[in-house]
Structure 1
Amino acid sequence: MFRDAEIDLGPPLQQAIVAMLATRAGRVVTLGQLIQGLWGETPPASATQSVYTYIAGLRRAFEPGRGRREPPSMVSRSSGGYLLRLDPSQVDAHVFAARLDAAAQGGRSGDLDGALRDLGEALSLWRGPALSGVPGPFAESERARLEQLHLTALEARADTLLRLGRPEEALSELYDLVHRHPLRERPYELLMLALHGCGRQAEALTVFEQARSTLAEELGIDPGEGLRRAHGVVLASDERPAAPSRTVPRQLPGDLMVFVGRTRETVRLKSLLDPWGDEPPHPFVVICGPPGVGKSALAVHVAHLVRERFPDGQLYVNLRGGTPNVPRLSTHEIFSRLLRGIGTPDSSVPEDEDEAAALWRSRLQDGRLLLVLDNAADLAQVKPFISAPRGVAVLVTSRESLAAGDDCVQLRLQPLSDAEATAMLSKLVGADRVAAELDQTTRLIRLCDGFPLALRVAGARLIDRPDWTVGALTSRLTDERRRLRELESGDLAVRSSLAASWNALNGSARDIDGEAAHLLALLGLLHVPDVTVEAATALSGGAPFDVERALERLCDAHLLDPGEPGRYHPHDLVRLFAADLLPPGERIAPLKRTIGYYAQSTRAAALTSDPHRVHCLYPELDAQGRGFDSAEEARAWLRTEEATLLAAAHQAMADPDDDIARAGAGIGLALWWYQQGAYRVAGLISLGERLLATGARLGDQVITMEAHAHLATGLYLKGDWARCYEQHEGHLRLARLLGDRFNEQRAHGNLAGTLLKWDRSAEALEHALAQRVIAREIASGPGERYALLVAARACIGLGRLEEAVRTLEEGAAMADQAGDTLRQTEFAVARGDVLLELGRPDEALAVLTATLEPARAIGMKMTEVSCLVRLARACRLLGRTGEATRYSIEALVLAERMGSAYWLQRATEERDALAQRSVHA
């Protein structure tokens, strides 16, 4: 919010206080207003103390050199609140509003150039979403207010450009506004007038229809006065003479008897080809998508629905752009077919391509004709046919994106939904057969990726084999090695459909097409849900820019789906097809690079997210990974990539190449702390079991030793203490065998933690003390801190409370000195626990209240739920029933979300104790 310097404003709630003070710069904001702005109507009991803490943090951030006795000059206390001593001209939000007011004044006085300058200055201050990441009711309200101001400024700039006679400069931004705010009428109105000013009347009318249908579908209202007025302006300049009669072709293929679904897509296409009132159809409409997604079927279906709108006929040409082993039609062949279709004798079709084009255009004048061009190879193949006279519509299907074409409206077709696919199979093979095995039908749909072609083939297989159940076919498709072979029936085959798209790229003379084809073959090596540019760069060994171009080219060819920026997703059928493209001898090097990239990046993320933990960096790898600038960035990357990392780890550890398997183990071992903090019970167990198998297969005792600890953690979180104890014993046995003193003390600590949960506090204390002896011997600070934590908890379990207090104080001091946030919060929770046992709930409440937010911030769910249960107990003992209820409910919800039987029981016990207290009150 401050323009002259960058300052670290601290945690999100502290940033929210800055926002409140800066928005009212130079004025007092009361303590009550700050609390309400942060937490609304239900602030925590510690709200006042928290505000004091945040104010102190801001003062340190604004004036780091201020002495302890020197009064603050930036944030001062005044009249029951706080005042930020800042001129409003130093706050972007105030300057933005002032420039917007000046622009409005300029517009009213006729100074349009000045108004445009003011709007430009205002919009130059915008840096993205207002108060991004700042929490609280005030931030939400202020964010909404500023977003509305931003929209007003964008619309005002577009309006000013129109009044200055510069409509073309407003188009790009108006298209973006319409896309981002489809229920706001003003951008539609301005866009229509801008298109009208550029002489693009048909597009302007299409925009009106888009607005009308969107408002009707979403809000159930008609266009407002502004939109209707703009519509009238466009219509007034759009007179059209009646078309003469001519030969009427009816060339559409038959509509499918089992066409189902695609309701939204059908409505959208109909609104373009058969618009409301007397508006002309959109001249160039494209249905694009991957092979087998049903583009041609939808085009033919919609063409039949709108054919009455085209009284001069409907023409259809298969351009063969996606037909295997058949050359695509040339431009002259297409013109010849079209001319003959409208009644031109063969002898009158010119041999010269340009003459044929001229004759085609002249025959189209004043006609109302629908032209369906199916299976276009690319934009170049259809470009000569899309500049048709008004009243003629061209509907094209293609596996490529044709969005760069003039006046193109493109609909990207997605696979069928489960409901649509089920309806399709029911019509193909019978509703009774499908209904008898709905679960298997859903599996079949998923295995076919929801692609109509694959579903049609599957349906044909079931029709040919009436004795097969749906489950019988599903079991055959589950085997990835034979799935594409199973999806063949007669002339229908998924593999050949995909091959046509890949062969078109691989055989192209363009370098980018060849690079894309090779990259798809490499992507077939990876069994991961999606891939980033970085991972694809490691896979290919090329330059990031070239790799990103190749990925985008595959998206244009609809062999990949784009996700978030920089992330790409192949459908399973495409991945299975791609897996057979690369010769076996060329798979090892790219797979090593990629698995190595994942392993090194995971290690870097783990180290950066919490440098105070000891992370497993075994085995050594000759690979490059990515780095991270902050713990927040590292944690965000791990959250986003978790599914991909797990898939890559499992795939690599199953690989016959030992080096790849070892690198896959490196991914799994590096994920240990993240999975534990995120409470990934099933993931820890499955990964631990795979690591054990990999260590045994490779004869690698280090991997086996680490795998015991990994698997034990999952079993610990599951509450399976006996099996957990066995795994920790295996860890300890191998650590001693290898002479690994660090892992020996680590195993003692983990055994102690497990015994605590098993209510065997005396044995737990023995192991904790053994861990501390070794940790001190090898100077392992993390090990000694953990040993003290577990020893203190064991003392609590044994009723040795004063000893527990001394141990906690020693451990907390060590954690404070090291800056170990996780252990600081865990020592604080344990301190709250011992205070409760000592009968000092008021002190326990203060400690635990101050610990809850840090516990949440570090992302360790076990620490958070532990703190919540003890907070509920402290409040119950103090008679603060409302707060106790809130904390117990929060604990129950979190424990249920974690799937932890242990913490669910503890939270339930606390809730029941609270209910019992209410009964006796």
Structure 2
Amino acid sequence: MGDTTHVTLLGPVTAWRDGQGLELGSPRQRTLFAVLAAHANQVISREDLVTAVWGLDAPATAMNSVYTYVARLRRLLEPARSQRGPSDLLVSDSLGYRLQLPPDQVDFRRFKTHLKRAGRLKNSRAVERAVEELNAALALWHGAPYGGATGPFADTERRALTELRLTAIEDRMELLHQLEHDVDFSGELSELSSLVRKHPLRERLRHLLMLGYARFGRQAEAVEEYHDLRGRLAEEQGLEPGERIQRFYEDILRSGPSSRMSLPPPEAEPAGPSNAPASSVRAAPPAQLAQLARDIPDFTGRAAELRQLRQLVVSAESAGESAVILINGAPGIGKTAVAIRIAHALSSRFPDGQLQLDLRGYGDGPGPMQLDEALRHLLDGLGAPPRADLDIEGQRALFRRLVAGRRLLILLDNAAYVQQVRPLLQGDASCLVIVTSRNSLTGLTVRDGARRITLNGMTEDGVELFGRMVARPLVAGAETEVRRLVEACGGIPLALRIAGTRIGMYPAPERALARFREGDLLGRLDVLGDDHSSLKTVFGWSYDALPEDARLMFRALGGGTEPRFGIRSAGRLAGLTPRGARRGLDVLVEASLVQEPVHDHFRLNPLIFAYARHLYHRDVALGATPTVSC
């Protein structure tokens, strides 16, 4: 029967039997069918169907609805089948349901097959044949994918497929520019212009449109596109266009107003689903000082935080104040990555250069950097020769003199306490200082006017980051399991990078994903051969820096059953009065190991709670009881 049934998902969800469209019923029944069609020839459990259609908060009646929808779909798909006869198309077993269809009878599968062929042909430089495969892939689309379907599965797949279509369009246009014979680009430019209006921050689309304009001597329009992109990026994300498109823009300006340009195509950008624009921050301009570490190539998310950081800097400059920006948060939350990202984005505002210094607040090295060593590093960066005759105050005075009036960006990374930072703050408003720390460093806010942003775990961005680290498209329908893993990891980017990398190494990542959360998740996040990147090690640096009473309090919290607790519960676990518990918890909040969203109500990140439980059970095994002395 399957040879007469065809399914379209790249538009309204539709089933066709012998050329006749079938009425698939209510939106949820249609969605259930879409899930089965997207996973043709795979068994989908009843529980996964419930989650895909209704989400994690499904009603108690959802399972009964699954049985009802399956029965209706069987009657629809196989009208000649007897009521009690076995189904040849929608098969059930003890695990779930399977829709048996040849892959080429589902347009979604044909689309991906064409994309794979195009990729292989592109790599072998068979440009014309690659274009033909992309044409065939794009011809399968008939509107927004999963039309008429609802729920989390449809929403996620709709976003992912839309991204794949955009990437295919970009790849096709790029290949057309490589063809030696003339191509009529009039229709292509019209389509690109329409897509750019819908996705104004998508840099690769914009680049291709500029290339098309410039190829036919329409330099003014290409220049206008660049300025529009640059203005939008600055306003919405605080970023500059990427270096590649900037170079192309400069080539256009040099070419003159009417010359036709025949340029090599843009370099391919990494493929894969992304909600963020495919843009990179501008490279630091030539300057005497350029010490910033490289930007993370696969940096994901944090768009809202980057906008907030830029706004804080602009606000300080408008007020004529010395800008000190403090980025803090839990271990592994990505403070340094965000700081480097925004520093690169803002580097053009500080043409006299950028300095970066790791203050070694946390790690297993020689301990937090002392003031004399910090000053020596900064003075070396500024080109000052060593001066044995200067004491610390003399060095501070020299540092202030060298930075006075200069537009410098100074990144002080991994600070442990306020006194590491305060002596390094300059006296005027010409410089920007960005500080990162696991501690709140409240004194910098109270006394030095620092503007603070606290990074929390990633949710939607965490799903995207995990997908990038897996380094291959996730098995369709694994969105629910990915979200559960992201939640179990508390959205900590370091944890998601480790998990994605490890799962991506398995030949069957979907199976590894399903088992990854089982048992000791914290233990699974160890990095073999690199203890410094393992979560236990990273958390341990914060724990080891605590005073003894706070360490005991932290271990006592691991004896609880939930990561959320009140002040009285914490006191009972630690054997303290609420007032005594408050003192220990204040230290843990300051260290970003515990959060206090509401007064006297606390929570731990799930992985930090797992680390506390690990320490608690270690104490129990040793016969110790983690209680704090009053």
Q: Secondary structure at the match of 2:411?
A: strand
Structure 1 position 414, deviation (Å)? 0.4
Aligned pair in 2 of structure 1 residues 276, 379: CA closer, same or farther (>3 Å)?
closer
1:393 aligned to 2:435?
no
Q: Which amino acid aligns with 1:542?
A: L
Q: Secondary structure at the match of 1:581?
A: helix
1:483 aligned to 2:499?
no
Q: Which amino acid aligns with 1:571?
A: N
Q: Secondary structure at the match of 1:475?
A: helix
Aligned pair in 2 of structure 1 residues 349, 261: CA closer, same or farther (>3 Å)?
farther
Paired residues of 1:403 and 1:409 also in contact (CA < 8 A): no
* Aligned 1:418-457 pairs, distance under 5 A: 419-430=460-471, 432-433=473-474, 435=476, 437-457=478-498
Aligned pair count?
Answer: 338
Using the alignment, how far apart are the partners of 1:257 and 1:501 within structure 2? 27
TM-score normalised by length of structure 1:
0.35
Match of 1:541 in 2: 575
Aligned pair in 2 of structure 1 residues 461, 375: CA closer, same or farther (>3 Å)?
same
Q: 1:261 aligns with which of 289, 301, 309?
A: 301
Q: Secondary structure at the match of 2:384?
A: coil
Match of 2:375 in 1: 335
1:248 aligned to 2:264?
no
**Unaligned ranges ≥5, structure 1:** 1-215, 218-245, 506-512, 594-921
Match of 2:12 in 1: none
Aligned pair in 2 of structure 1 residues 525, 278: CA closer, same or farther (>3 Å)?
closer
Paired residues of 1:249 and 1:312 also in contact (CA < 8 A): yes
Name the structure with the higher strand share.
2
Q: Secondary structure at the match of 1:577?
A: helix
Aligned pair in 2 of structure 1 residues 257, 410: CA closer, same or farther (>3 Å)?
same
Using the alignment, how far apart are the partners of 2:598 and 2:364 within structure 1? 32
Q: Secondary structure at the match of 1:287?
A: strand
Paired residues of 1:312 and 1:369 also in contact (CA < 8 A): yes
The Cα offsets for residues 265-309 of structure 1, whole Å up to 9 and x where unpaired, read as 100111122459866575211000000101000000000000011
Aligned pair in 2 of structure 1 residues 400, 562: CA closer, same or farther (>3 Å)?
same
Overall identity of the aligned pairs, in %: 30
Paired residues of 1:248 and 1:311 also in contact (CA < 8 A): no
Using the alignment, how far apart are the partners of 1:356 and 1:290 within structure 2? 33
Q: Which amino acid aligns with 2:583?
A: R
Aligned pair in 2 of structure 1 residues 469, 383: CA closer, same or farther (>3 Å)?
same
Structure 1 position 585, deviation (Å)? 5.8
Match of 1:503 in 2: 544
Q: Which amino acid aligns with 2:417?
A: D
Q: Secondary structure at the match of 1:546?
A: helix
Q: 2:333 aligns with which of 293, 316, 320?
A: 293
Aligned pair in 2 of structure 1 residues 294, 489: CA closer, same or farther (>3 Å)?
farther
* Aligned 1:180-195 pairs, distance under 5 A: none
Paired residues of 2:329 and 2:438 also in contact (CA < 8 A): yes
Using the alignment, how far apart are the partners of 1:354 and 1:460 within structure 2? 48
Aligned pair in 2 of structure 1 residues 520, 499: CA closer, same or farther (>3 Å)?
same
Aligned pair in 2 of structure 1 residues 414, 349: CA closer, same or farther (>3 Å)?
farther
Match of 1:459 in 2: 500
* Aligned 1:869-880 pairs, distance under 5 A: none
Paired residues of 2:558 and 2:612 also in contact (CA < 8 A): yes
Match of 1:362 in 2: 401
Q: Which amino acid aligns with 1:543?
A: T
Provide the aligned C-alpha RMSD in A. Answer: 2.6
Aligned pair in 2 of structure 1 residues 439, 575: CA closer, same or farther (>3 Å)?
same
Q: Which amino acid aligns with 2:570?
A: A
TM-score normalised by length of structure 2:
0.50
* Aligned 1:620-635 pairs, distance under 5 A: none
Using the alignment, how far apart are the partners of 2:398 and 2:287 within structure 1? 15
Which one has the largest radius of gyration?
A: 1
Match of 1:914 in 2: none
Q: Which amino acid aligns with 2:331?
A: P
Match of 1:584 in 2: 620
Aligned pair in 2 of structure 1 residues 587, 393: CA closer, same or farther (>3 Å)?
farther
1:407 aligned to 2:437?
no
Q: Secondary structure at the match of 1:432?
A: coil
Structure 1 position 590, deviation (Å)? 6.9
Q: 1:560 aligns with which of 594, 597, 615?
A: 594
1:571 aligned to 2:611?
no
Match of 1:377 in 2: 416
Aligned pair in 2 of structure 1 residues 278, 544: CA closer, same or farther (>3 Å)?
closer
Using the alignment, how far apart are the partners of 1:373 and 1:335 within structure 2? 12
**Unaligned ranges ≥5, structure 2:** 1-234, 237-285
* Aligned 1:382-781 pairs, distance under 5 A: 382-405=421-444, 406-417=448-459, 419-430=460-471, 432-433=473-474, 435=476, 437-463=478-504, 465-479=505-519, 481=520, 483-491=522-530, 492-505=533-546, 513-582=547-616, 583-584=619-620
Paired residues of 1:487 and 1:493 also in contact (CA < 8 A): yes
Match of 2:170 in 1: none
- The answer to which structure, 1 or 2, has the higher relative contact order (CA under 8 A, 6+ apart) is 2
Q: Secondary structure at the match of 2:412?
A: strand
* Aligned 1:315-326 pairs, distance under 5 A: 315-326=355-366
Using the alignment, how far apart are the partners of 1:282 and 1:303 within structure 2? 16
Using the alignment, how far apart are the partners of 2:517 and 2:526 within structure 1? 8
Q: Which amino acid aligns with 1:497?
A: V
